[in-house]
Chain A
Amino acid sequence: MAIIERPGTSTTPVVVTPQQTLGAVKRPVATKGWREWLFTVDHKKIGIMYGVVAMVFFIIGGVEALLIRLQLAMPDGQILSADKYNQMFTMHATTMVFLFAMPMAGAFANYFLPLQIGARDVAFPRINALSLWLLIIGGLVLNASWFLGGAADGGWFMYAPNSGPIFSPSHGVDFWVIGLQIAGVASLLGSINLIVTVLNMRAPGMSLMKMPVFTWMILVVQFLLVFSLPVITVALVLLMLQRSYGATFFDVSQGADPLLWQHLFWIFGHPEVYVLILPAFGIISEVLPTFARKPLFGYPFVVFSGASIGLVGFGVWAHHMFASGLGPVSVAVFSVATMAIAIPTGVKIFNWLLTMWGGKIWYTTAMNFAIGLVVLFTIGGLSGVTHSVAPSDTQQTDTYYIVAHFHYVLFGGMVFGLFSGFYYWWPKVFGKMLNEKLGAWNFWFMVIGMNMTFGPMHILGLQGQPRRMYVWTEARAGEGFFNLGFWNLVASIGSFILAVGVLFFLINVVITARSKQQAPLDPWDARTLEWLTTSPPKAHNFDRIPVVHHLDEFFHRKYEEDTATHTMKKVAEGEDLVRAEGDAADAHIHLPSPSYWPILLSIGVGLLGLGVVYGIPMMVIGFAITLFSAYGWVLEPSVAEEIDFEPSDNDGNTKEIAPLG
């Protein structure tokens, strides 16, 4: 237990003299170097690690995308073989969805959710660390397949029976199944953790309807995950049993129905779409009000539309299967239900626009990305409406029109939202502002690149170019303005412009990291609780747990309404408020010590999974490590034994594993 004694309080720090070398299992206490990160249970460090991991996978997935576009730039592309291309698009989607989008949203959720609700950590810090490490192990297993006989080649939707042992003979799909199961467990644990945190650990006075919208959207997402992940787990288990243990679930000669996989996959897969987009909605619902200097228009409507998107999202999965041969009645029902989901989504768009209406809009990079989301998502949403019409969808599905649609929604929507979050919260996390000039370059290259890449895909799709084809042929390209050759080339060029945009961001990160200039404590005149602490926040987040009276508590501590003019006037500076908190700090703040078990347990689970491919002995070893860690975990003392602490520093104060404020 790190017992943080504030300087100036009368308690003398206990000086601990190590007496013995101890055995294998004790709670780690290191506060420096790599151990600090490997064994940490601090939600902020975990959040940052989520972000780094997700960014690495974003780059990997991006390179895969560029290879795909290179292959398709010209007819009969020769860059990739059919086999490699199939692996490439499978892994591009899998990586982007499971290893970039979800973890990056997880990064924001982990870092800001406790800060936004005025908590000192998440409900289960060690489980939080476990989620991270399981995700990393899952990602490694997934990508290890590149070097171990080829990656999965069945598309991210992995339709049976094409994913069966006969039709996909390499181990790629096995690694995919195992990796996703591990990543799934990670997400499940993470979502339970975050739900408990939000429901149980809000600061006094923060009722559900006073929570920031980002927290709300994350809460909805976690509920979606809790109830959709088990379904994909079932599908993955069935596939695993079929591939590795001779089960017959998708064996048509035994009378199996391949549509079972599709139903299971999309019952998960459709809520998953909202899992991807809602965090971005949450982010811009923080960014837009901040830079428009107005609260979110229709807060309850935004919250409830988010919740109803989540709920209805469970009832529209079969719109991915309009061409799969469902009966006309089911098709009609799902078609209409899908149209219905456009309504709450539309409500959100209007609310964002009306938030800005009558505001005082300050165009920063964060704001630009948020606005970019609103516009680009609208385009993606409208093309979505065109294929909620089931008969039209039978012409559009599995063509580039669909690719265009979901990249507008996911890149124009989700990725722009996340980038908005980067620029908005960077000063909070690292205490330094990202460079706004480079930010502008970053933004414009991404906007232009994104529209150049995905805009032409609308044309390609309506001109009949199917997706997932490793080559397209001149013979089917047509001529004139809409010929496939020209627009494929444009899309490929656009993808490189897009990549340059992302490169600007990475350069910006490096430059910012090297810069010595510290960010002000309240650079954006922000509205929510996470700004009511130092940047970066202390290990214990808040010196004093805030008491909440308003939605947008921080803003209302700074501003009061001038009753005469109905405008707001500033009554306090954000920086002063933060300092005042420090002066009134609580004494005796308890934080959990780091732990070895999360990472060790993850390694055990990883080996256990690989045992499916490499045989029972490895499974036994994995199982033993898992069991060992699980029990070590349960029996772990909540406090590091006094004798476990490192020899005292010069100041004789060894227990302060959290830096003082």
Chain B
Amino acid sequence: MDTVSPVKSLTRRISTTVAGVAGAVVLAGCAQNAPQDTWKPKGDNAQMIYSLDKLVFPIAGIVGVLVSALAGYIFVKFRDKGQAIPAQSHGKPIVEIVLTIVPALILTVVGVFTFRTIMDLAETQDTEMIINVTGQQWWWEYDYPAQADQGITQPIITSGQLVIPEDTNVLLRETSRDVIHSFWIPALNGKKDAVPGRIHLLRMQADQPGIYAGQCTEFCGLSHANMRMEAIALSKEDFAKWVANQQKPYTAPAEGTLAKEGEGVFINQCARCHQVNGIKDANGKAIISAPDENVYSGAAPNLTTLMTRNTFAGAMFDMVNQKCRADVWDAKSEDFGAKYLAGVTEDCLNEKNLRAWLRNAPAMKPMYADPAKLEKTNGLYRGMPNLGLTEDDIDKLVAYLLTLK
């Protein structure tokens, strides 16, 4: 048979591969890249993990290069050059033992550091603030229990964007209403699953104001890919402003405006599931939404301060247009707070997506919203159904929603 003897190209290929992977791994650390870059820590917790990475990846890289070099050497040196068939030696135990002990020692060192970091990341004694984080197909709800020492006198409820004060040890208490989700803001900490029926604690701390991207990382069904989140860190003063704004009472739009008509549409169509705190019907009676009667998982995003958030539909869509988005995302940390707190103005509104969403939500995001297919849940939706709004209604609704800030 024909002998293939591609020794040289083999070694070349292997060394390129190894170099490529190692190079990629090293370079990935020093580039300005994707917002979910795991090697750009922006808080203490992520920094602890990154410090471990800085130990482990070089070790792995060096071992990889050494092994590959040894392999390449062997492939060239001992190729069939017509030498005699060597003696049938079955190995030397001493070599084996050394080759067992050396990796064991390296791993012991890594193990000690790992152990310490695991314990540090599980610490809850230094918590300054707690936030309940609840996952649901396919969005996140954040609620802030009243904590007078953090300036939160009334509980706050929001979704899409988690807002935290800078340099504060926040403890997230994660859970889920339906399936397992996973909360992950790479710049601030590793991920932790939000498991229904369990409370999982996750430390969060941000060094400076800014916006940090994240993504649900436990497969959670149809629209898993569209379940995103953003964490917003604000300076302490800005955070106090944000809290004050969240807690201010509801003001109905002035009579006779388009927004007032929009409020009517909202009460008819949206208030079945979406709560707006303080909204009252024509008789002056407070409206309590009943998502538990319409949605399988029993909740829908609270829209009281919708226009203070930059995203909607589980952070799948931007509430602001491209330009305003870039403005917030690229802001320097000292300007960031002001820009974020400005909320969504009429100029910035991403009307196209918002209207499309109101027109036919299931077409924008895969959800279980087809009434014909909801046999197993007794007709309860998983996601937002198509409400069949007219363009007129949508105009009014958009005008109304813009007042929710």
Contacts and interface: CB of A to CB of B under 8 A. Distances in A.
A301 B196 contact: no
B192 interface: yes
A327 B119 CA distance: 10
Given A353-B71, A469-B224, A483 B34 contact: yes
A358 B119 contact: no
B199 to A, nearest CB: 9
A591 B334 CA distance: 85
B224 to A, nearest CB: 6
Contact of B35 (A364, A440, A464, A468): A464
Contacts of A552: 88
Contacts of A167: 137, 178-179, 221, 382
Interface string A444-469: 10011001000110110111111011
Interface stretch (A12-20, A128-136, A384-392): A384-392
A153 B219 CA distance: 10
A295 B34 contact: no
Given A362-B3, A379-B64, A392-B49, A455 B20 contact: yes
A363 B87 contact: no
Contacts of A455: 17, 20-21, 24
A246 interface: no
B117 A325 contact: no
Interface SS of chain B: mixed
Given A363-B79, A368-B10, A398-B218, A385 B60 contact: yes
B121 A523 contact: no
A386 B6 contact: no
Contact of B110 (A83, A359, A389): A389
B75 A371 contact: yes
Nearest to B79: A361
Nearest to A304: B96
Interface string B60-91: 11011001101100110011110111111111
Q: Which of B18, B119, B224 has the most CB of A within 10 A?
A: B224
Q: Which of B1, B48, B184 has the most CB of A within 10 A?
A: B1
Contacts of A155: 219
Nearest to A298: B91
Contact of B197 (A258, A299, A356, A448): A258
A327 B377 CA distance: 34
Contacts of B341: none
Given A374-B71, A398-B217, A567-B86, A364 B1 contact: yes
Contacts of B178: 161, 167
Contacts of B28: 459, 462-463, 482
B345 to A, nearest CB: 21
Interface stretch (A112-120, A335-343, A541-549): A335-343
B107 A339 contact: yes
Interface in B95-122: 95-96, 99-100, 103-104, 107, 110-111, 114-115, 117-119, 121-122
A169 B376 contact: yes
B37 interface: yes
Contacts of A463: 28, 33-34, 36-38
B7 interface: yes
A631 B342 CA distance: 79
B34 A476 contact: yes
Contacts of B60: 382-383, 385-386
Interface stretch (B51-59, B141-149, B155-163): B51-59
A477 B34 contact: yes
A458 B3 contact: no
Interface stretch (A2-10, A249-257, A273-281, A498-506): A249-257
Nearest to B376: A169
Nearest to B201: A325
A467 B217 CA distance: 7
A654 to B, nearest CB: 41
Nearest to A385: B60
A589 to B, nearest CB: 33
Contacts of B182: 323, 398
Contacts of A360: 78, 80-81, 83-86
A394 B190 contact: yes
B161 to A, nearest CB: 15
A375 interface: yes
A294 B86 contact: yes
Interface string A298-314: 11010000000000000
B375 interface: yes
A84 B218 CA distance: 18
Q: Which of A258, A296, A358, A391 has the most CB of B within 10 A?
A: A391
B377 A166 contact: yes
B224 A361 contact: no
B354 interface: no
A437 B4 CA distance: 8
B373 interface: yes
A470 B225 contact: yes
A479 B35 CA distance: 10
A392 B21 CA distance: 18
A594 interface: no
Nearest to B123: A328
Contacts of A264: none
A494 interface: no
B195 interface: yes
A292 interface: yes
Nearest to A375: B14
Given A324-B195, A368-B10, A379-B64, A347 B96 contact: yes
Contact of B196 (A161, A354, A365, A468): A161
A83 B382 CA distance: 14
B27 interface: yes
B347 interface: no
B344 interface: no
A349 interface: yes
B56 A396 contact: no
Contacts of B137: 167
Interface string B184-218: 10100111110111101000000000000101111
B2 to A, nearest CB: 5
B9 to A, nearest CB: 8
B336 interface: no
A648 interface: no
A484 interface: yes
B296 interface: yes
Nearest to B119: A328
A297 interface: yes
B13 interface: yes
B75 A478 contact: no
A512 interface: no
B223 A82 contact: yes
A472 interface: yes
A391 B190 contact: yes
B3 A169 contact: no
Contacts of A385: 56, 59-60, 107, 110
A154 interface: yes
A60 B184 CA distance: 34
B37 A462 contact: yes
Contact of B4 (A336, A439, A481): A439
B366 interface: yes
A332 interface: yes
20 contacts: A162-B179, A258-B180, A259-B195, A293-B85, A296-B90, A301-B96, A354-B91, A356-B74, A356-B78, A361-B75, A361-B80, A363-B80, A368-B6, A385-B56, A386-B57, A389-B56, A394-B191, A395-B38, A396-B38, A398-B218
Query: Would you list the 9 A-B pairs with minimal beta carbon distance, nearest first?
Result: A464-B36, A394-B190, A478-B34, A469-B225, A328-B122, A298-B91, A82-B366, A567-B84, A325-B200
Interface of B: 1-7, 10, 13-14, 17-18, 20-21, 24-25, 27-28, 31-39, 46, 48-49, 52-53, 56-57, 59-61, 63-64, 67-68, 70-71, 74-75, 78-81, 83-93, 95-96, 99-100, 103-104, 107, 110-111, 114-115, 117-119, 121-122, 137, 178-180, 182, 184, 186, 189-193, 195-198, 200, 213, 215-226, 228, 296, 318, 366, 368, 373, 375-377, 382
